[in-house]
Chain A
C-alpha cells in the first residue's frame, strides 16, 4: 500500500490535472444536490413561515415532527424511498429507481427537515412588529411575506447552507436510490465508498478533498454572513 503522502499527491494530481471522470462525478453531485435544494427551498420556507406565524391545530406536533426528522439517518430515508420507488412499490410505475430524479427525491426528503427547522427558528426570531408594520404600510400578503424573509435572510441563508452541506455529503440515500451508476448517478460520496472498497484511495481522497474544501467554504460563508447579521442587529 502506498504511503498517505503519495496517495494525497496522486489525489491532487487527479484534481488539478482535470481528470474527466473525477470532474464528471463532482458535476453530478452538484447537479443533483442543487436541484434538490432548489425544489425543497420554496416548500420548506412556506412551511417554516406557516409554522412561525400561523396558528392552527397540530402546529406544535408538526414542529416536533420536523425537529425529529433532523436526526433521521440518510440510509433510512433511502430505504423508505427505495421501497416506494421499487417495481413492486406504490410509485413503481414512475420507474425512477436508480435515476438522478430518484436521488433528487431522496435529497429533498433529507434537506426539507433542516430547512424547515432552521427556517422556522429564524423566522420566529423576527419581531412580530415587522409583519404588522408591513401590513399597515399597505404591503400585499406576498410582499409582507417577502419583507419578513428579507429580515430573516441571514438565518435563512444559514438554513440553506446547512441543508446543502447535509445532502451533498450523504451517501446512504444516494447509494440506494441512485445505484452508483458511472456517468449517471455516481456522485462524490458514493464514488468515495466505491473507490475505497476497491483500494483506489487516490480518487477517494481527491473527492474527499473536494468535500472538505466545500465544507470549509460553506462554514466560512456561514460565519461571514452571520457575523454580518450580528453587526446589523
Chain B
C-alpha cells in the first residue's frame, strides 16, 4: 500500500461547513504540512484521515480503485496513528506506555520497548511515571509509542506547540526519522518553518477549502513499505 487519495471530503457540524470539497493524499514516506488558523478544521481533517471520524461525503481511492468509506475506515484505523496536540499517555511508567501497542511474547515486547526507548532517547526515563514528564518528553513518549506500532501513516496535530527550541528540534528529528523509514506524515501546524526540512507539501486550510502552497519533491532512497523499513531499522 503506497497511499490513499481522498477527494471531495465534506464535513458539517450542525449547520456549519467545516470541510468543503477537500482533496488530499496520504503517501508513504511523504510529509505534508497542514496550515490554517484555529478552527479552520485541521484537526477534523486529520481525524477523518485517521479513520476516527466519518465525513459527510468523500471519495476514497486506494490501490488504483475507488473504495467504500466503511471498509477504508477500518483500514485507516489499523494503518494510521493520530497524535493529539497534547498526547494522551496512560497512567503508569514510560515503559508501560511503550508496551501498550505491542503484542507477542513478553521477552519480545521488552526488547521492542528497549528499542523504542533508545530510538526516542528516553532510556533513562523508562521507569518514570508519565505524570512527572515535561511536555516535550511526553511528546517523545507518544512518538516512540506510535513508532513501535509501525504505522503506515502518522497524523500529528500541532506536535511542537508549546515546546522550547531543543524539544522542538528533537521532535522534528524523530519525525524525520519516521519519514526516512517510509511512514507517511501529515502534520497540522501553525509554524510551518519548523518543519521546512522534512515537508514535501504545504497545504493551507481556509474556510473549509484546501489549497496547496508549494511543493518540494523529495526522492526516497528506495521503495519499501514502512513496516519493512521499521524492521530493517530495528534489525
Residues of A with Cβ closer than 8 Å to B? 127, 129-130, 132-139, 147, 150-151, 232-233
Contact = CB atoms under 8 A, between A and B. Distances in A.
Interface in B67-97: 77-78, 80-82, 84, 86-88, 90-91
Interface residues of B, number: 20
B131 A132 contact: no
9 contacts: A129-B87, A129-B88, A133-B84, A136-B77, A137-B100, A147-B90, A151-B91, A232-B91, A232-B131
Contacts of B87: 129, 133
B131 A233 contact: yes
B50 interface: yes
Contacts of A138: 78, 101, 149
B82 A136 contact: yes
B90 A151 contact: yes
Contacts of A135: 52, 77
Interface of B: 50, 52, 77-78, 80-82, 84, 86-88, 90-91, 100-101, 129, 131, 145-146, 149
A127 to B, nearest CB: 6
Nearest to B89: A133
Contacts of B77: 135-136
Contact of A150 (B78, B81, B90, B145): B90
A162 to B, nearest CB: 22
Contacts of A232: 91, 129, 131
A160 to B, nearest CB: 19
Contact of B84 (A129, A150, A233): A129
Q: Is the interface of A mostly helix, strand, loop or mixed?
A: helix
Nearest to B84: A129
B91 A150 contact: yes
Nearest to B101: A137
Nearest to B82: A136
B180 to A, nearest CB: 22
Contacts of B78: 138
Most buried by A among B77, B100, B129: B100
A149 to B, nearest CB: 12
A133 B80 CA distance: 12
A136 B129 contact: no
A139 B86 CA distance: 20
A209 to B, nearest CB: 38
Contact of B149 (A127, A137, A147, A233): A137
A233 B131 CA distance: 7
Given A138-B101, A232-B129, A132 B82 contact: yes
Contact of B88 (A132, A150, A233): A132
